[in-house]
Structure 1
Amino acid sequence: MQFSVLTIFPEFFDSFLSCGLMAKALEAGVVSVTRINPRDFATDRHHTVDDRPYGGGPGMVMGLPTLVSALRSLPRPGRMLMLSPAGRPLSQRFAAELAGEEALTLLCGRYEGIDDRMFDLFDITPVSVGDFVLSGGESAAACLMEAVSRLVPGFMGKDASAEEESFASGLLEYPHYTRPEVFEGLPVPPELLSGHHAAIAAWRRQRSLETTLARRPDLFDAVALSREDAAFVRGLPRARAGRNMHLGLVHGPVVLKDGKVGTVSLTNLDVHDIARVSRTYGLGGFEVVSPLRDQLALAARIVAHWREGPGLAANPDRAEALSLVRLHEGLDAALAAVTADHGREAALVATSAKGPATLSFAAARELIAARPTLVVLGTGHGLADEVLARADGILPPLRPFSDYNHLSVRAAAGILTDRLLGDVL
């Protein structure tokens, strides 16, 4: 693997390339690294590589003349990459893809960035090593070089080491232990001392699943789990985190078709389908709110038919879902019930297909992880302003850039719940 690194600080890489496996790989010829300083291609006596940005603003921008000359001087540039927080995320899969190249050229930006016309002149892929800003691309380039080099044949002393590391299977790696067997009262897990290879493999797999769920549950999106894996994860405490969340379906006060505020009728399908969503995602409960007592009585008969009546024998799964349904005359009663369930004051999160949003989905996930939360959806044409005004936050529309936001409340409940809890399994 040939790396060509364009940087105005070539000395940055001295330590990185002179120690550890990287130094051994260079010595063995497994990888080679050439550092090119764009200043060497400047034509003025100050070796200028930057200039003021058009349109004004702070900082300087790396200019085209020196960078273009530097790139065109390379006899074998290979695939060109620029380290940038706006780039494609560097993952293990992407690193493996890059490891299949014969040569890579890495552009290390500085200042406010690089003149964007560079992308018109060359086929360059921006790459990000994380959602943060660095002073330049050098440390990101070092990160990329190591991630890619480790996957080049001959780099690792034992190829199996790379195969068993974090992300190699799509999951985080299991914990490791070595001598002494007991240190300051802390023993090595007995499974690792058993000598039973199948038991050790099972223990490691379970710890890998456990660690991934606790620290990076999003990784499960790209991993095919066996039935045994799924059964194990379902039993972990984090997999039951959805119990902090309750769905609420408000029938009044809501916005009516004519724009006025009032109450709409309860729908049998809404109760059934949102209850099934709630059970599927392990929610704490499904709170149905209507100020009309005859509507609540109707809902009570529907629920009783499936939980206690003939429906229980005919479809026990439906009974299990409807066991989560509770009926309330007002939102205050629903909030009080959720608070009583958890022994802590519940947060109220509202939804709206129109906006404006005051709470991102990421922030809502953090809120649900930290405290009991009632997430309410409105029937009719959405929750009334008085409900939105009292909420601790309003979520963005599910399709904020669409010109058609008219999902059924049942569909919205399913999509919303998955967006908030999907990575918790």
Structure 2
Amino acid sequence: MRFSVITIFPEFFESPLSCGLLSKAREKGLVEFSFINPRDHSTDRHHNVDDRPYGGGPGMVMAVDPLRRAISTLGPKARILMLSPKGRPLTQALARELAGEEELALLCGRYEGFDARLEELCPIEAVSVGDFVLNGGETGALCLIEAVGRLIPDFMGKDESADEESFSTGFLEYPHYTRPEEYEGLKVPEVLSSGHHGRIAQWRREQSLETTLRMRPDILANAPLTDADIKYLKALDRVRPGRNLHVALVHYPVENKSGQTITTSLTNLDLHDIARVSCTYGLGGYYICTPVVDQQTLARTLVGHWREGYGLTANPDRSEALGRVRVVSLLDDAVADIAARTGRRPKVLATSAKAGNMTCEQAARWLRDEPVLLVLGTGHGLRPEVLEGADGMLRAIRFMDRYNHLSVRSAASIMVDRLLGDVG
């Protein structure tokens, strides 16, 4: 494979490409590199490749003409990639795709980036190596070169080495050990010295699953899991972020369509469906908040039907879900109950279809270390005093769309899934 790198700093690549497996691959002719400096294609007498941005602002912008001239020197089969934070994420799947190309051209930006007309004039694909800022595209280009290069046949020496590493199988790699067998009281797992290849393979698979569940549960959603894998994951005794999340459905104080303060009536569907969501995602609890005694009695009657007698016998799963329901008078009672059970006052996370700027990603950070109470309103939404007293207000689910009127049951399901961001 040929890598053509368009950069104003070709010397940046001298050391990384002259050591390790990349150096050996170059010697064997598996990969080759060429460097194209846009300065060599500048018609400016000073070989400038940048200029001030139209509209003002800090920094400089790489000019379109030298870059287009540099690109014109590429071979006809070159796939042109621009290292940019706006691009397609560089994943193992993309690396495998790119490894099938004959030539990759890597466009490395500097300063404030490229003149936007370059992408309109040339067939360029943007690729991102992560959601962070670098001084230029050269570092990202090195990441891409290594990720793609090591998938070329014979690059690794043993091709199975690449197949067993993190992300190649869809989840993180199992832990490795070497001599000595014991170090500072820590021993190599006995199974690895057993000589039993089947047990070793099973142990490694289970360790990969456990590591991925603990460190990167988000990637399990698309991993190729077997029935045995899923059974093992279910059996793991683990503390999940979901246990820090609690839900409260508030029936007072809420608003009607005229903005007046009202108390809404309990609905059977809200009680059942949000309880099932809470159980499915392993939440810490589900609170029904209503000050009306008759409504409290109704809620407890509905729960009791499924928790005792015929309901329990007919549908044990429903009984398990409704066992998470707690009936309280006011939202403050739910907060106090969580504080008593966990030893910490929960962060109160309010919701509204009309306001709120906190993202699910920001709110999910709370869940790592402390309890969070997700507060859902009925009627036409929570009263302003509830929203103002919260620690944060979650952004509306469809905040960019004109129509944003989901049932509270649907909204609860979507919000819980987004907040936890895992596969169960």
- State the TM-score, normalized to the length of structure 1: 0.97
Q: Secondary structure at the match of 1:114?
A: coil
Q: CA separation in 2, counterparts of 1:422 and 1:72?
A: 44
Residue type matched to 2:47 in 1?
H
The question of 1:319 aligning with 2:309 is answered no
Q: Deviations over 1:134-166 (max 9, x none)?
A: 111111101101100011112110000000011
Contact 2:210 2:233 in 1 (8 A): yes
Contact 1:76 1:103 in 2 (8 A): no
Q: CA deviation at 1:44?
A: 2.6
1:245 matched residue in structure 2: 245
Residue type matched to 1:411 in 2?
S
Residue type matched to 1:174 in 2?
Y
Q: CA deviation at 1:417?
A: 1.0
Gaps of 5+ in 2: none
Q: CA separation in 1, counterparts of 2:411 and 2:68?
A: 50
Cα distance 1:255–1:65, how it changes in 2: closer, same or farther (>3 A)? same
Residue type matched to 2:408 in 1?
V
Q: CA deviation at 1:195?
A: 1.0
After superposing the two structures, state which structure 1 stretch, 66-75 or 267-276, moved more: 66-75
- State the TM-score, normalized to the length of structure 2: 0.98
Q: CA deviation at 1:193?
A: 1.0
Q: CA deviation at 1:100?
A: 0.7
Name segments (4+ residues, structure 1) moved above 3 Å. Answer: 235-240
Contact 1:233 1:239 in 2 (8 A): no
1:287 matched residue in structure 2: 287
Q: CA deviation at 1:45?
A: 2.5
Question: What are the residue-to-residue correspondences of 1:211-226 with 2, within 5 Å?
Answer: 211-226=211-226
Question: What are the residue-to-residue correspondences of 1:340-351 with 2, within 5 Å?
Answer: 340-351=340-351
Q: CA deviation at 1:371?
A: 0.7
2:419 matched residue in structure 1: 420
Q: CA separation in 2, counterparts of 1:57 and 1:237?
A: 54
Q: CA separation in 1, counterparts of 2:118 and 2:308?
A: 70
Contact 1:79 1:104 in 2 (8 A): yes
Contact 2:220 2:423 in 1 (8 A): no
Contact 1:4 1:106 in 2 (8 A): yes
1:369 matched residue in structure 2: 368
Q: Secondary structure at the match of 1:203?
A: helix
Question: What are the residue-to-residue correspondences of 1:225-264 with 2, within 5 Å?
Answer: 225-238=225-238, 240-264=240-264
Q: CA separation in 1, counterparts of 2:76 and 2:157?
A: 28
Q: CA separation in 2, counterparts of 1:80 and 1:236?
A: 45
Q: Secondary structure at the match of 1:345?
A: coil
Q: CA separation in 1, counterparts of 2:269 and 2:351?
A: 20
2:105 matched residue in structure 1: 105
The question of 1:302 aligning with 2:276 is answered no
Q: Secondary structure at the match of 1:423?
A: coil
Q: CA separation in 2, counterparts of 1:84 and 1:281?
A: 36
The question of 1:391 aligning with 2:390 is answered yes
Q: CA separation in 1, counterparts of 2:201 and 2:70?
A: 50
Q: CA separation in 2, counterparts of 1:36 and 1:97?
A: 24
Question: What are the residue-to-residue correspondences of 1:64-103 with 2, within 5 Å?
Answer: 64-76=64-76, 78-103=78-103
Q: CA separation in 1, counterparts of 2:251 and 2:226?
A: 42
Cα distance 1:91–1:238, how it changes in 2: closer, same or farther (>3 A)? farther
Cα distance 1:373–1:22, how it changes in 2: closer, same or farther (>3 A)? same
Q: CA deviation at 1:356?
A: 2.7
1:160 matched residue in structure 2: 160
Contact 2:77 2:102 in 1 (8 A): no
Q: CA deviation at 1:77?
A: 5.4
2:30 matched residue in structure 1: 30
Question: What are the residue-to-residue correspondences of 1:327-338 with 2, within 5 Å?
Answer: 327-338=327-338
2:407 matched residue in structure 1: 408
Gaps of 5+ in 1: none
Contact 2:83 2:140 in 1 (8 A): yes
Q: CA separation in 1, counterparts of 2:244 and 2:58?
A: 45
2:42 matched residue in structure 1: 42
Q: CA separation in 2, counterparts of 1:38 and 1:280?
A: 56
Residue type matched to 1:135 in 2?
N
Q: CA deviation at 1:257?
A: 2.4
Cα distance 1:239–1:224, how it changes in 2: closer, same or farther (>3 A)? farther
1:145 matched residue in structure 2: 145
Aligned length: 424
1:194 matched residue in structure 2: 194
Residue type matched to 1:384 in 2?
R
Q: CA separation in 2, counterparts of 1:214 and 1:162?
A: 23
Q: CA separation in 2, counterparts of 1:285 and 1:356?
A: 24
Contact 2:306 2:319 in 1 (8 A): yes
Contact 1:2 1:103 in 2 (8 A): yes
After superposing the two structures, state which structure 1 stretch, 239-248 or 254-263, moved more: 239-248
Q: CA deviation at 1:224?
A: 3.0
Q: Deviations over 1:114-140 (max 9, x none)?
A: 101001111101111111111111111
Q: CA deviation at 1:238?
A: 4.5
Identity level (%): 60
Contact 2:221 2:423 in 1 (8 A): no
Q: CA separation in 2, counterparts of 1:66 and 1:163?
A: 41
Contact 1:51 1:62 in 2 (8 A): yes
Q: Deviations over 1:263-289 (max 9, x none)?
A: 100001110111111111111111000
